Amino acid sequence: MRRRTWKRFHPPGTSPGTLSVPAAAEGKGGLTLVTYRGDSVSERHLAAVAEVPAAPAAGENLWLRIVGHSGETLGSLTARFGVHPLVLEDVVNLGQRPKVEEFDDYLFIVVDVLRFGTNGGLEEEQVSLLLFENLLITIEERESDLFKLVEDRLRSGRGKMRTLGVDYLAYALVDAAVDHFFPALERTGERIDEVEDELLERPDRQGFEKLHGIKRDLLRLRKATWPLREAVAKLTRTDVRQVREGTRVWLRDVYDHTVQIIDIVETFRDMTAELVDLYLSSVSTRLNEIMKVLTIIATIFIPLTFIVGLYGMNFNTQAGPLSMPELNWRWGYPAVWVLMLAIAGGMLWMFRRRRWL
Amino acid sequence: MRRRTWKRFHPPGTSPGTLSVPAAAEGKGGLTLVTYRGDSVSERHLAAVAEVPAAPAAGENLWLRIVGHSGETLGSLTARFGVHPLVLEDVVNLGQRPKVEEFDDYLFIVVDVLRFGTNGGLEEEQVSLLLFENLLITIEERESDLFKLVEDRLRSGRGKMRTLGVDYLAYALVDAAVDHFFPALERTGERIDEVEDELLERPDRQGFEKLHGIKRDLLRLRKATWPLREAVAKLTRTDVRQVREGTRVWLRDVYDHTVQIIDIVETFRDMTAELVDLYLSSVSTRLNEIMKVLTIIATIFIPLTFIVGLYGMNFNTQAGPLSMPELNWRWGYPAVWVLMLAIAGGMLWMFRRRRWL
Amino acid sequence: MRRRTWKRFHPPGTSPGTLSVPAAAEGKGGLTLVTYRGDSVSERHLAAVAEVPAAPAAGENLWLRIVGHSGETLGSLTARFGVHPLVLEDVVNLGQRPKVEEFDDYLFIVVDVLRFGTNGGLEEEQVSLLLFENLLITIEERESDLFKLVEDRLRSGRGKMRTLGVDYLAYALVDAAVDHFFPALERTGERIDEVEDELLERPDRQGFEKLHGIKRDLLRLRKATWPLREAVAKLTRTDVRQVREGTRVWLRDVYDHTVQIIDIVETFRDMTAELVDLYLSSVSTRLNEIMKVLTIIATIFIPLTFIVGLYGMNFNTQAGPLSMPELNWRWGYPAVWVLMLAIAGGMLWMFRRRRWL
Amino acid sequence: MRRRTWKRFHPPGTSPGTLSVPAAAEGKGGLTLVTYRGDSVSERHLAAVAEVPAAPAAGENLWLRIVGHSGETLGSLTARFGVHPLVLEDVVNLGQRPKVEEFDDYLFIVVDVLRFGTNGGLEEEQVSLLLFENLLITIEERESDLFKLVEDRLRSGRGKMRTLGVDYLAYALVDAAVDHFFPALERTGERIDEVEDELLERPDRQGFEKLHGIKRDLLRLRKATWPLREAVAKLTRTDVRQVREGTRVWLRDVYDHTVQIIDIVETFRDMTAELVDLYLSSVSTRLNEIMKVLTIIATIFIPLTFIVGLYGMNFNTQAGPLSMPELNWRWGYPAVWVLMLAIAGGMLWMFRRRRWL
Amino acid sequence: MRRRTWKRFHPPGTSPGTLSVPAAAEGKGGLTLVTYRGDSVSERHLAAVAEVPAAPAAGENLWLRIVGHSGETLGSLTARFGVHPLVLEDVVNLGQRPKVEEFDDYLFIVVDVLRFGTNGGLEEEQVSLLLFENLLITIEERESDLFKLVEDRLRSGRGKMRTLGVDYLAYALVDAAVDHFFPALERTGERIDEVEDELLERPDRQGFEKLHGIKRDLLRLRKATWPLREAVAKLTRTDVRQVREGTRVWLRDVYDHTVQIIDIVETFRDMTAELVDLYLSSVSTRLNEIMKVLTIIATIFIPLTFIVGLYGMNFNTQAGPLSMPELNWRWGYPAVWVLMLAIAGGMLWMFRRRRWL
């Protein structure tokens, strides 16, 4: 089934902030609470949001992971942490533009990752982050390996992840999300190269339809990455309180990556536009060539066929001296051959002179 | 009848602020006054604007709904509430760009909704809002179900609509108006998918004309939504006095929707541009194929037809030794067949080598 | 004669501010002085600029109308009112971009109106306004009905025109000038609709040339309206001293009109671009169809013609047992018919399978 | 020889400010010193820059004209007036973008003029101005009539040129340089009109190649005029010390001219894009027409030729009752004619119904 | 092997600042330390970064050149000079966008040079600069002649390079890097001219594929030069502490060069777009011509062939008075000739009248 390229919506006029989790998505939510500090990390599955401790111990950071969209779980976020209903609406309505919104207590970040799925098509995956003082809540659309490596780093204690605050963790997650675009871009680049080779060798319908598919994917990538850049840029701005000064330099690096991604997407778009031109010109060149062969063969034989038709007429040679006397001439038949060869030769000479051969 | 895509105008040089309500629209105006507070809501039909109470009771909010453009009713708005004549001119002249204008006492908002009508075509509906301190005046072009759900929410007392001021009501109406674009977009998306399938399977004139229709609709949607975004952005700005701080966060959500809508419209435009390319390339590919078949059949048979014409000539075989002696050879006829099969085979081999088959 | 789309110029290096009124335009200047106050209005033809009173009576406003470009009359404006020579150069050199320039004593406004003339072509008309404290000088290119309705309003005393200052009069004139674009746009919209119908029904050269004409007109409209918007925007800015606060709200309305006009022009441009696509695709679709018919008829008859040619060969049936024995078979002729019908049928079946029919 | 559209460069890594005057250009430099005040003007040829007086007499202005690029002369400008080496590099390296650079003592202005040369091609001419307090140095690429009229005005004492400072002279020169674009634009406009007429009447290769030439010229004009506008805009800014307040209003006029020029260039570009469309559509329309004629003639005659071929078969009418008995029927031949006329008529009727005729 | 147009990346989620030097690049690093002051310059090969003196003697400047990416060497930069790990990541990950980043102690500059390699293809070369107070560290991707001339100037003591600080040296290197684009552009310009000549003379597939190659190169150049301009612009800004006031004027010159380069690239892009149009129109013009010849020959001979076929029918002239009596007429054969010549002449006349010949 084709995933829509636009967001889910409810009937116009519905009360805003209404949580309408689709039945299919409901009930698969899983809660994990990761508590970490400089020297330790512990993981615990929760049954409900209410189990999250009111205030973490000093020096401790909490990461609450919510997987799947359970109406009940999400609803309790408002009660427990004062999350605005509109935020939850955005969490649930997939296909959001990536964005960053500041609230008094927390920062709301939505990121949309595009990856090539196992079936070869681009798949979208929305991740929402709520960044509080010592608490990071992430809400993922479904179970996936998006943040596998970040989890491993946190567990293993490599790098400075544990010693820095939750804003650094948020950065690491956004960074991982953004980096997931690179394999998708590399794959797209390979597909473009393949199609180019194909079109240069044999411009046909199939290659063009592949190209059409690539262009559609690029449209989606483009639509996903431009707002992503804006969102990350907003994170790096100095007036965002939830992000510490030290984390900003790392976010600038993520920002550079988004710019890079956009650069690549735009370059790919230019390249595919190029290939469309190439394809169309190939098709018309090919038509040209075929027409040339037809023209040459036809124009040579049309007069000859007329001549042989001429001497196939049944005029009575006895009717008068001008009534097809050629038929009875001794050299009539060879003369006709000479005439025909002369015409064919003349035509060929003319074609060559006009550079049609 | 096709609705014009540009605004109604009066003869250049006419006094500005002249109310020229077209005869057809005149006289169908209906006035309803909705009075609501936290715990109650009452609705009353009015005969004239003058019946609106001078000052609402404390804690009470008034919503004056005017349906249809009656010159008299609108005129009395100036007398009663000091509405600027130019505002009324804008209310009456349909096809306005969505906009927000600040005046000393009130805020003037015009929104244009595009929906697919029952006849399958896009229909425009202009709504004007005048937002005073405790009073909201809305002027709708005609009776419609645009705000059905908002009315219901107000009547039922669900949500916080009654407890918040008229600016929240104004927000709810603008939100509903903006949300009406989503079904139109979804329908357009479906039409694009349909046309794409059609064009991929069988590229013909009909599909292309449908595509042309979609592009025209997209032009109208685009023309409607860009200024809409500007207008909503203006509403969210902090220097608009009539909108309370608390309402602004909800308006930011509407703003996000308008951005989303524009995103979708632009993506659709890119997709239709893609489809035009696809169509044109399909047409030329198809022409190519047809030409190939013609060329192959023609180039094979043209020489053969020449040969059979040749031996249909009536040269007198008695005239001399070189006068078509072939006709009397024992193996003449079979030899001609062999020659013709060789020519046809050679041609086919050449075509295959050139990859034309 | 085609009116140039760019401005008149003098040899490069000429002293700036040189008044080179073309001989053809010279000497047709007419001067009218309109003096008005709240309760009265009087009109007087003047022989020279010097007759304008030095200072108007209190509460009196003066409107000096100059029609036609007389070098002498314009020259005396510098002497009498201190108008900068460059301003006069701009007045005389037609084809100016609409603009607003502030000087110490006065405001200089140039507006270019495009209307459809009686001969069906777009005609340009430049109007210059010099707005002083209590004096408005307008310089029109030629006698015309541009400001007919404004004059009438001033004479009749309807509206507030007489009671407000000359800046309101200037506004009224600019408003009238801008409004003159609407009929031109409406006419253009009708032409586009006509051409669209024509092209959908029968795509031919003529329709395309009409479309080309419309596009040229749109280019001119566009070139005229973008700077017009800028100019009017400048007028509405609060730092323009010559325009009173109260007049600004009316000018904002004119500004909205210019935005509307640009919107329409851009929409029309998109629509004509659409129509070009439509036309080109129609032409190639049509070519396709014609080619198909040719191909089908040709490919069916070419083999048949070969067959009948075959049995028209004059091989001597007596020469040997394989020398066209078919000619003497009892069922030879009917068998050939059967063969030919089978070939034709097979071809038609193949065409239908490939969806070429 | 084609003039490059990009700037001369030296090997990467060369010391900046290196003066590498090409041998061809070297040594043709001529120095003229013009000394003027309100009531007098004198001209003197100099042998070297050192002859310029250290300080001009009170009220006197100096204009040092350097024609041609002599390495020695330019080099001495640094020694004598402290001109930065990079400035001289820019003076010598032709093909500079027009620009204005401020230094402590002087203003550096480079302007590039494009004119149609005697051979019909666009020719570039670079002029550099160094504007000091009472001294203007101009460096022209070669002897030309660029500033002929300005010189005349200075000599004749017409206008206020002598009474105002060297900044006014600089203005007059820049104005003259900018005005030189107008004849080039007029010529281009005429060429576009010519090509349009040609293409409308007879769309052929030649017209298209002319159009291609015009587009190339427009590319160069565009590349020259956009930075020109920026440069002049910089001159009009109030923070440029070397330009007196009174001169600024004149420069604003030059600025208007550059805007006008860009407007015209952009309009021309749109017009040529239009003409390309027109040409391409004409070509395909024409192909269409030709194909139609071919199709009609071919499709009418192909079946007829089949029929006459049919009755040219040599089946032995004696072989059996179904062996071409038509040949011996009394009305056989007329019946064939009737059949053929019916077929031809039917075809024509079908073509007419499909609007192919 | 084709060099990727996008940056190397590691698995998403990897710890940022991880140095993953590819095995192929590892170990080829070479360290050179250049110590210079006004009157002397000395060069020394180092084994490790640790050998760089902690603080240079007064008036001495240090230039540390690192060639090749050795993980160990780069790693020690962090230890020795406090270089941020992200900076090193950028140094190692080739295909960076050119950029300038400020840190407390140093400025980080990355520049990407595109040159035509010996195999005729564009080759990328990334150079990183770390500008400290008295120390400049450069890291080059591989041994090359990029900075040959700058080294020579430093060694020879020509110009002011030795007397100015390391910021001037950095400028000189960036200038050299930027100037390396000019030969690449010149070469591209020549290729465009060649292809234009080719396409004007004989529009074929090969020329178009060359054009395609040029466009791909231009895409890369464009992608490289736009961010380069931004980066250099950032260097010229007054708030960059590491760059001295005096060096800024030289950097402004580099900035002008980058603008020039972009101008040229954009002009080239316009020119190649032009050439694509030219090519496509040439192809269709050519097809047109070929079709015309085919049509003319075919339409002339098709009716004639019909006529000769007609009189090749074997109707028995004895069967009746209307059964092909022409065959026995005395002037039958000559009359057929006259008829055929009349038809051919009429056709030719018609073609000429329609301007098809």
| pLDDT band, residue E10 (cuts 50/70/90) | low
pLDDT band at A22 (very low <50, low <70, confident <90, very high): low
CA proximity to E60, closest of E136, E5, E123: E136
Q: With beta carbons less than 8 A apart as the criterion, state whether B80 and B49 touch.
A: yes
**Strand boundaries in chain C, DSSP class E:** 30-37, 40-46, 61-67, 99-102, 107-116, 122-131, 135-140
Task: Note whether D287 contacts E284, CB cutoff 8 Å.
Answer: yes
Q: Which chains touch E (3 or more CB pairs under 8 A)?
A: A, D
Q: DSSP letter for D116, please.
A: E
- Assess whether pLDDT exceeds 70 at residue E28: no
The model carries a pTM of 0.77
Position C63 scores a pLDDT of 93
Phi, psi of C60 (to 5 degrees): -100, 145
**Contact assessment for residue E124 and residue A286, using Cβ atoms and an 8 Å cutoff:** no
C-alpha radius of gyration, chain B, whole number: 36
CB contact under 8 A, D208 and E285: yes
Task: Give backbone dihedrals phi and psi of D282, rounded to 5 degrees, phi first.
Answer: -65, -45
- Structure confidence at residue D2 (pLDDT): 40
B254: nearest CA partner in chain A: A16
Burial class for B262, CB neighbours closer than 10 Å (0-12, 13-18, 19+): middle
Model pLDDT for residues A241-283, shown as the tens digit of each residue: 888 888 888 898 899 999 989 989 998 998 998 888 888 878 7
> Which is higher by pLDDT, B8 or A231?
A231
- At D230-259, the pLDDT tens digits run 999 999 887 788 888 888 888 988 999 999
Q: How far apart are CA A80 and CA A77, in angstroms?
A: 5
Burial class (CB in 10 A: 0-12, 13-18, 19+), B187: middle
- C195-204, D130-139, E12-21, E239-248: least confidently modelled range: E12-21
The CATH homologous superfamily to which domain A287-353 belongs is Magnesium transport protein CorA, transmembrane region (1.20.58.340)
Band of residue D340 on the pLDDT scale cut at 50, 70, 90: very high
Contact list in A for residue B182 (CB cut-off 8 A) is 9, 12
Cβ <8 Å between D323 and C308 = no
Chains in contact with D via at least 3 Cβ–Cβ pairs below 8 Å: C, E
**Alpha carbon distance D48, D57 (integer Å):** 20
Whether residue C333 and residue D310 make contact (CB cut-off 8 A), yes or no, is no
Question: What's the confidence (pLDDT) of residue C175?
Answer: 92
* Model pLDDT, residue C300: 87
Of B7-16, C124-133, E2-11, which one has max mean pLDDT? C124-133
* Confidence at residue C138, expressed as pLDDT on a 0 to 100 scale: 94
Yes or no, beta carbons of D311 and E316 under 8 Å apart:
no
Q: For residue D170, what pLDDT is reported?
A: 93
Contacts of B298 in chain A (CB under 8 A): 294, 297-298
On the question of pLDDT at E5 being above 50, the answer is no
Position D3 pLDDT exceeds 60: no
First to last CA, chain B: 52
What pLDDT sits at residue D6? 45
Chains with 3 or more CB pairs under 8 A to chain C: B, D
Q: Are E276 and E211 in contact (CB under 8 A)?
A: yes
- Asked whether the predicted pLDDT for residue A4 surpasses 80, the reply is no
Residue D277 confidence (pLDDT) = 82
Reduce the secondary structure of B61-118 to three states and give it as a string.
EEEEEEECCCHHHHHHHHHHHCCCHHHHHHHHCCCCCCEEEECCCCEEEEEEEEEECC
Is 90 exceeded by the pLDDT of residue C22? no
The pLDDT score that the predictor gives to residue A2 is: 39
The beta-carbon contacts of B325-332 under 8 Å, at least 24 apart in sequence, are B326/C315, B327/C314, B327/C315, B327/C316, B327/C319, B328/C316, B328/C319, B329/C319, B330/C319, B330/C320, B330/C322, B330/C323, B331/C320, B331/C322, B332/C315, B332/C316, B332/C319, B332/C323
Band (E109; pLDDT cuts 50, 70, 90)? very high
Residue B129 predicted with pLDDT over 60: yes
Query: Do residues C181 and C225 make contact, with C-beta atoms less than 8 angstroms apart?
Result: yes
- Answer yes or no: is pLDDT of D151 > 50: yes
* CATH 3.40.50.1860 fits domain D30-282: no
Q: What percent of chain B has pLDDT over 90?
A: 23
Segment (H or E) for B298: helix B245-310
Contact E256 D99 (CB under 8 A): yes
C147 neighbourhood in chain B, CB within 8 Å: 13
**Does C285 sit within 8 Å of B208, measured CB to CB?**
yes
Q: DSSP letters of E46-62?
A: ESSGGGS-SSPPTT-EE
Q: How many CB atoms lie within 10 A of CB D266?
A: 17
pLDDT of residue B136: 94
Query: Searching chain E, which residue's CA lies closest to the CA of residue D220?
Result: E267
In this structure, are residues A306 and E308 in contact, taking their beta carbons and an 8 Å threshold?
yes
Q: Residue C172: what residue type? A: A
Tokens at residue C337, please?
A: 């018919």
Percent of all residues in chain E with a pLDDT value above 70, rounded to a whole number: 93
pLDDT 10s digits, B260-311:
899 899 989 989 988 888 888 787 777 777 777 777 888 888 889 999 998 8
Q: How confident is the model at residue B26 (pLDDT cuts 50, 70, 90)?
A: low
C302-334 pLDDT, tens per residue? 889 999 998 888 888 888 888 888 888 888 888
Say what the pLDDT of residue B9 is: 58
Q: How far apart are the first and last CA of chain A?
A: 51
For residues C22-31, one letter each, b for 16 or more C-beta atoms within 10 angstroms of the residue's C-beta and e for the rest, the string is: eeebeeebeb
In this prediction, residues A71-99 reach a mean pLDDT of 85
The pLDDT of residue B237 is above 60: yes
Q: What is the DSSP string of E188-206?
A: HHHHHHHHHHHHHH---HH
E runs forming strands in A47-134: 61-67, 99-102, 107-116, 122-131
Lowest mean pLDDT among C165-174, D8-17, D94-103: D8-17
The answer to whether residues E128 and E164 touch, using CB atoms and an 8 Å cutoff, is no
Pairing of strands E61-67, E30-37: antiparallel
Please state, in angstroms and rounded to a whole number, the distance separating the CA atoms of residues E56 and E67.
22
pLDDT confidence of residue A330: 86
pLDDT > 90? residue C339: yes
Separation between Cα atoms, residue C136 and residue C165, nearest integer Å: 10
Q: Could E175 and D291 be called an inter-chain contact, meaning their C-beta atoms sit closer than 8 Å? A: no
Would the CB atoms of B267 and A5 count as touching at under 8 Å?
yes
What's residue C52's pLDDT? Answer: 87
pLDDT digits (tens, 9 = 90+) for A61-79: 999 999 988 888 888 888 8
The CA distance from A5 to the nearest CA of chain B, in Å, is: 8
pLDDT of residue E182 exceeding 50, the answer is yes
Closest residue to C320, CB basis, from B2, B305, B331: B331
Average pLDDT in chain E: 84
* Count of CB pairs separated by less than 8 Å, B with C: 174
Hey, what are A22's tokens?
């689709």
Q: Do D183 and C280 touch (CB under 8 A)?
A: no
Nearest to C327 among D177, D267, D314 (CB): D314
Burial (Cβ within 10 Å: 0-12, 13-18, ≥19) of residue B102 = middle
Cβ-defined contact of A153 to E329 (cutoff 8 Å): no
Q: Please, what sign has the CA dihedral across residues C201, C204, C210, C211?
A: positive
Which of A87-91, A95-99, D180-184 is predicted with the least confidence, judged by mean pLDDT?
A95-99
Beta strands in C198-349 (DSSP E): none
pLDDT tens-digit readout, B54-86: 777 778 899 999 998 888 888 888 888 989 888
CA distance E103 to chain D (A): 28
Instruction: Give every strand in the sheet of A30-37, ordered side by side.
Output: A40-46, A30-37, A61-67, A135-140, A122-131, A107-116, A99-102
Does the distance separating the beta carbons of B13 and C147 come in below 8 Å? yes
pLDDT digits (tens, 9 = 90+) for B245-254: 888 888 988 9
Q: CB-based burial of residue B317 (10 Å sphere; 0-12 exposed, 13-18 middle, 19+ buried)? A: middle
Compute the nearest-CA separation of D32 from chain C (Å): 20
Chain C positions in Cβ-Cβ contact with residue B12 (cut-off 8 Å): 149, 176-180, 182-183
- The pLDDT-based confidence of D1 (bands split at 50, 70, 90) is very low
Question: In D, which residues are within 8 Å of E313 by CB distance?
Answer: 308, 311-312, 327, 333, 336
Q: Is residue A312 predicted with pLDDT exceeding 60? A: yes
CB nearest to E327's CB, from A177, A253, A316 = A316
The answer to whether the Cβ–Cβ distance between C298 and B298 falls below 8 Å is yes
Quick one: average pLDDT of C229-247? Answer: 86
User: Which of D227, D222, D233 has its CA nearest to residue D262?
Assistant: D222
Q: Which of D282, E287, D351 is nearest to C289 (CA)?
A: D351
How far are the Cα atoms of B165, D48, D54, D106 from residue D84, in angstroms, in the given order? 68, 19, 19, 10
pLDDT of residue B30: 84
Q: Is the pLDDT of residue B17 over 80?
A: no
Q: Strands, DSSP E only, in chain B?
A: 30-37, 40-46, 61-67, 99-102, 107-116, 122-131, 135-140
Q: Is the pLDDT of residue A333 over 50?
A: yes
Reply yes or no on whether the pLDDT at C58 is more than 90: no
Using the 8-state DSSP alphabet, how is residue C137 labeled? E
Beta pairing, strands B61-67 & B135-140? parallel
Q: Do B305 and B313 meet the contact criterion of CB atoms below 8 Å apart?
A: no
Minimal Cβ distance to B176: which of A13, A219, A332: A13
What pLDDT, in 10s, does the model give residues D159-204? 778 888 899 999 999 999 999 998 899 899 999 989 988 887 777 7
Cβ contact B285–A208 (<8 Å): yes
Per residue in B327-350, pLDDT (tens digit) is 888 888 889 999 999 999 998 898
Q: Residues of E with CB below 8 A from D293's CB?
A: 295, 299
Which residue in E183, E264, E314 is closest to D312 by CB distance?
E314
**DSSP states of E321-341 as a string?**
TTSSGGGG-TTHHHHHHHHHH
| Region C232-247 average pLDDT | 86
* pLDDT tens-digit readout, A220-239: 899 889 999 999 999 988 77
Contact present, E290 and A292 (Cβ < 8 Å): yes
Q: Taking residues D9-23, report their average pLDDT.
A: 66
Is the separation of the CB atoms in B165 and B61 below 8 Å? yes
Distance CA B281, CA B268 (A): 20
Report how far residue C289's alpha carbon sits from residue E295's, in angstroms, rounded to the nearest whole number: 18
Q: Do C278 and B14 touch (CB under 8 A)?
A: no
Q: Pick from B150, B278, B306: which is nearest to A212 by CB?
A: B278
Here the tokens at position A252 are 């600038």
pLDDT greater at residue D14 or residue C207: C207
Q: How confident is the model at residue A29 (pLDDT cuts 50, 70, 90)?
A: low
Q: How far apart are the first and last CA of chain C?
A: 52
The two three-digit tokens of residue C331, written as one number: 């069922």
Q: What length is written for chain A?
A: 357
Q: What is the ipTM for the molecules in this complex?
A: 0.71
Q: Do D16 and E250 touch (CB under 8 A)?
A: yes
Q: Which residues of A touch B327 (CB under 8 A)?
A: none
CA distance linking residue A288 with residue B346, whole number of Å: 22
Most confident range (mean pLDDT) of A18-32, B2-16, C66-80, D285-299 is C66-80
Asked whether the predicted pLDDT for residue C15 surpasses 80, the reply is: no
More confident of the two residues C88 and C38 = C88
Q: Are E132 and E61 in contact (CB under 8 A)?
A: no
Are D343 and D308 in contact, with CB atoms under 8 Å apart?
Answer: no
Q: Where are the domains of chain A?
A: 30-282, 287-353
Judging contacts by C-beta atoms under 8 Å, the chain E residues touching residue A323 are 330, 332-333
Can you tell me the distance from the alpha carbon of D83 to that of D60, in angstroms, rounded to the nearest whole number? 22
